[in-house]
Amino acid sequence: MGLNQKVEMITGSGATPILVTGGAGFIGSNFVLDWLKTGGPVVNLDKLTYAGNPENLASVASNPAYQFVHGDICDAELVTALLRQHRPRAVVHFAAESHVDRSIVGPEAFLRTNIDGTFTLLRAAREYYDSVAGEERAGFRFLHVSTDEVYGTLTPEAPAFHEETPYAPNSPYAASKASSDHLVRAWVHTYGLPAIVTNCSNNYGPYQFPEKLIPLMIANALQGKALPVYGDGQQVRDWLYVLDHCRAIRTVLERGRVGETYNVGGGNQRSNLEVVTTVCALLDELVPESKFKPHRQLVKYVTDRPGHDRRYAIDARKLERELGWRAQESFETGLRKTVEWYLANAAWVKDVTSGAYQQWMAQNYAGRDAGGVSVAAKGRTIVASGESAR
């Protein structure tokens, strides 16, 4: 089926599509799958970098309400053409480089995608918005999905991040996302673009690339590999189940106020100690035949990464108060669903953890061995990596 034919099918159905960027990634693919359950058409623009996987969306590949476009958000001509062809009622912008460790090793890609890419989208969206009128203009929204890491780090006793918390990013990744947030704000106030920003806490759930904490621990434990632990593992994060996040984005898109920021959190602050302990206990229970039980014996300490933020916490009361959204999953229920999904989708994990993934893991953890001390050998408390989860 050619591009023009597919465009006609979507726009000719009577329903107005949304344009999603980065919809083959972790959060993006969960959002696309959730959105299509309502029958709403989606155009998905994704560059398919290492973390973008079209297999995440194999179940909807033949759905006439879904179109995948392989392309770069930095390609201004392509972005402009997609807006003109599909005339979407919203742009939902997930596309981003998001792994803190990778941003430390190679920040250039983060500046290009997260800053230049967002600028390209904003410029094209403004031109499109200025070209439409009536209901199309009144209903158009640009929703920028960002992170709590733009706020920096919290001391143990500090109140959670709220929408007025000053930005203080500490990693190249966080700085690039803070920059993109500021660009969106500027396009609202200078050009009148009807944009909204959401800042979320650490996501977890199905389809997350196994360089992030929870899927990495699951994948390694099942193979009897070491579970690498950064520093003392006492970093605290607020954990948000990905489908709760998708529901929040849908809510903000439908009822959020233009120019506002909404923080999205799961209300589940956990130290990485608690996260890894819970993952290991679930694997002990769900894989009773594993020869690596108890899985906690696989944990070992490695050298911490530079500038590692100590604590994140999100105050989501504005979203709850104004729009009526609340997270439906507790950390315990969401994590069980997540572990069960990875156990049921071993083929997916195998496909995404070969080749370049193995090279990256070797590069990232080389020199972090810290003596290769295991928890079992030293009798020390199990702790967890402080990995970002976007």
Indicate if 130 belongs to the active site: no
The residue-averaged pLDDT of 210-237 equals 90
Whether the CB-CB separation of 302 and 370 falls below 8 Å is answered with yes
Nearest-angstrom CA–CA distance, 309 and 272: 12
Average pLDDT value over all residues in the chain: 88
pLDDT confidence bin for 13, thresholds 50/70/90? very low
- Please report the domains of the chain, with CATH numbers, ordered by start residue: 3-205+241-264 (3.40.50.720), 213-235+269-307+331-378 (3.90.25.10)
Range scoring the smallest mean pLDDT among 87-91, 134-138, 279-283, 350-354: 350-354
The residue that leads in pLDDT, 103 or 90, is 90
The residue-averaged pLDDT of 356-371 equals 52
- Could you say which of 148, 181, 238, 309 is catalytic? 148
Residue 136 has pLDDT above 70, yes or no: yes
Indicate if 173 belongs to the active site: yes
- Could you say which of 173, 204, 312, 342 is catalytic? 173
Indicate if 129 belongs to the active site: no
End-to-end CA distance of the chain: 34
Residue 379 has pLDDT above 80, yes or no: no
Residue 357 has pLDDT above 50, yes or no: no
The residue that leads in pLDDT, 282 or 12, is 282
Whether the CB-CB separation of 209 and 352 falls below 8 Å is answered with yes
* 89: DSSP letter: S
pLDDT confidence bin for 315, thresholds 50/70/90? very high
Residue 370 has pLDDT above 70, yes or no: no
